Structure 1
Amino acid sequence: MNDDPLWLAQVAFAALGDIAFASMLGAVLMNGWLSKEKAFATVSPARFGWARARRIGSGGALVLAFANLVLLWLQAASMSGVPVMEAGASVWTVLTATHAGTGWAIAFAGSVLLVLATASGAPMGAGRLAFAAFGALVAAAGKASVGHAADAGAFSVAEVVQTLHLLATGVWGGVVIAGAFAVLPALGTSLARAFLIRIAGKMSTMAVVAVVLVIATGVFNALRGLGGAASVLQQSVWGHVLIVKAVLVATALIFGGLNRWSALPRLRRTASTVDAHTVTNVMRVEGLLMIGVFVAASVLSHSVPGFAFGG
């Protein structure tokens, strides 16, 4: 494992950006669902949950934009070989004269679109949802264009798959993280219980769709990263981290399945406070595991991929 402070900073801010991106996606979806049910109304018992979704959405977009700005500075320091505090003179060169700078500009443009899409305090209608989806696509495509997938060339199948992987992982992790730690607890009152049950059900369905895409694209990325040599799993840091990520994903799937096929059906039958807390608590464990997945993904993206060892 690399112990260089600059590398660690890049990994940390990349992970922060991924978590913010995911939380924003999840919050925007829940904002849309709650807005459709008019939870924004002053008299609605779910208004607090809607307000939290709105704040998490706008806050996540701002944190993503900030993380991207820091990453550009760190990239300039890495590419120029100068101390971080002296990297300012290299930022413009990196931005205008390198492939990494072009990819960063696309990703940052996506984050700006997301800030604009989530800035309003109005209910999240179909138009803003579409605008946010476009911003998320741009942000994910920009990030994919500077990762390991870029080795296959611009607009390659690898880049398209990685873009889908980033979006799907963001949706899965986002509905779980934003839902478990912010929105569902705000719907915990008995008066808002019906909203909680419906939103939790929509979250579960959305997560299933996202998981299918995560697994399909993840397998593609893993096989590509291995370069046909399974021994890379044991012989490289990249391989070790890939195993850790796979274990975290598998464990998160177990907790997600526990909620979908056990806790959530029981909550629908009873609508009890105890079962509502069980759904939220199980989802919190899944959310913590997904945060671990984002950290592992960040380490992978800043490590030499397996196919490089095979020449």
Structure 2
Amino acid sequence: MNVDGLWIGQVAMTALMNIAFAFAVGSALLAAWLAKDGGQKVAPARPALLRAQRSLVTGAVVLVLADLGWLIYQSATMSGVGLPEALGVVPSVLTQTHVGFAWSIAFGGALVLLLTSVASHEGVLRNALLWLAVIAVAAGKAGLGHAADAGIASAAIAMQTLHVLVTGVWGGLALSSGLAVLPALDTSTARGVLIRTAGQVSSLSLVAVVFVLLTGVFNAVRGSGGSFEAIDASTWGHVLTLKLALVALALVLGGLNRFSALPRLRRTASTMDAHTFNNVMYLEALAMLGIFVAAAVLSHSIPGFAAMG
């Protein structure tokens, strides 16, 4: 692993891709849940619905731009040239490498996600296209990482695709809820919608976390070759340890909300308990940002088993 400007740029673009994808997924879920309560212009949940819709569009736009930036950095790294010269290498990377194939799937999904996010009319077709686009982005992103070493049609790719999807759900709900949407429900008139939406966020996050942990264990074992020594003695292992610590922090914060703040909010519907839930969600969102950055570093680091020979 050569830590230079190109590597830092790749990691930055990957982190931005991770965060933007998750933000879009979480915002899409929240927009769907708030569609009924916020449908009327004078509804208390209207500001939250508008924030969710705008966050979805913003996440999709940033994802498209980050994809393009990542491709330029990747082309420069693969060809050994500078960024300006890399533009001329992009066509070859797209047509002659598995990276180009996987990126094309991810970028195509990102474009469809953007188009569906700005669609003026919602319906079954629009929603189906949106979630098919999410799956395409996840599959393409899986093919850009270490899982591709096992081949396109492999268990590693399938598990990584699932990992990207469920991480996008868990992390995306935390990011979009904590940083954008739920604060817009922090009024007494919207308290019922906040309680209901908070319950939906908590329940789906719990399901996503189970799959995140299962697929994460599979990836960790594969990356370390089943050796604790590979984790202890490699840069990849050190970054993995940091990521696990951040995951543990996010789990603790999510547990506090699910088992303490949310039950109290349901009992009292008080402003203080609403603030507590939203504040803990905000902290969980910050932890998620760290997790996505650590994941970006891992994807551009030599796996532990390879570093140990």
- Do they fold alike, i.e. is TM over 0.5? yes
Contact 2:37 2:193 in 1 (8 A): no
Aligned-residue Cα RMSD (Å) equals 1.2
Query: What residue identity is the alignment partner of 1:47?
Result: R
**Whole-Å Cα distance in 2 between the matches of residues 286 and 71 of structure 1?**
27
Query: What residue identity is the alignment partner of 2:13?
Result: F
**Whole-Å Cα distance in 1 between the matches of residues 125 and 203 of structure 2?**
22
| Correspondent of 1:216 among 210, 214, 217 | 214
Q: CA deviation at 1:128?
A: 2.9
Contact 1:58 1:115 in 2 (8 A): yes
SS for the counterpart of 2:132 is: helix
Q: CA deviation at 1:2?
A: 4.9
In structure 2, stretches of 5+ residues that fail to align are: none
Cross-structure match for 1:7: 7
**Whole-Å Cα distance in 1 between the matches of residues 201 and 94 of structure 2?**
38
Contact 2:28 2:56 in 1 (8 A): yes
**Gap change, CA 1:104 and 1:174, over 3 Å in 2:** same
Match runs of 1:83-98 below 5 Å? 83-98=82-97
**Gap change, CA 1:118 and 1:216, over 3 Å in 2:** same
Q: TM-score, normalised by structure 2?
A: 0.97
Query: What residue identity is the alignment partner of 2:29?
Result: L
Match runs of 1:12-161 below 5 Å? 12-35=12-35, 37-122=36-121, 124-161=122-159
**Whole-Å Cα distance in 1 between the matches of residues 105 and 51 of structure 2?**
29
Cross-structure match for 1:237: 235
Q: Runs of 4 or more off by more than 6 Å in structure 1? A: none
Cross-structure match for 2:255: 257
Percent identity over paired residues: 54
Q: CA deviation at 1:86?
A: 1.9
SS for the counterpart of 1:86 is: helix
**Gap change, CA 1:90 and 1:309, over 3 Å in 2:** same
Residue deviations 1:183-238 (CA, integer Å, cap 9, x gap) = 10111111111111111110001100100000000000000111122101121110
**Whole-Å Cα distance in 2 between the matches of residues 219 and 132 of structure 1?**
29
Q: CA deviation at 1:160?
A: 0.3
Query: What residue identity is the alignment partner of 1:7?
Result: W
In structure 1, stretches of 5+ residues that fail to align are: none
Query: What residue identity is the alignment partner of 1:220?
Result: F
Q: TM-score, normalised by structure 1?
A: 0.97
**Whole-Å Cα distance in 2 between the matches of residues 203 and 156 of structure 1?**
32
Q: CA deviation at 1:126?
A: 4.3
**Whole-Å Cα distance in 2 between the matches of residues 225 and 43 of structure 1?**
52
Cross-structure match for 1:296: 294
Q: CA deviation at 1:310?
A: 4.6
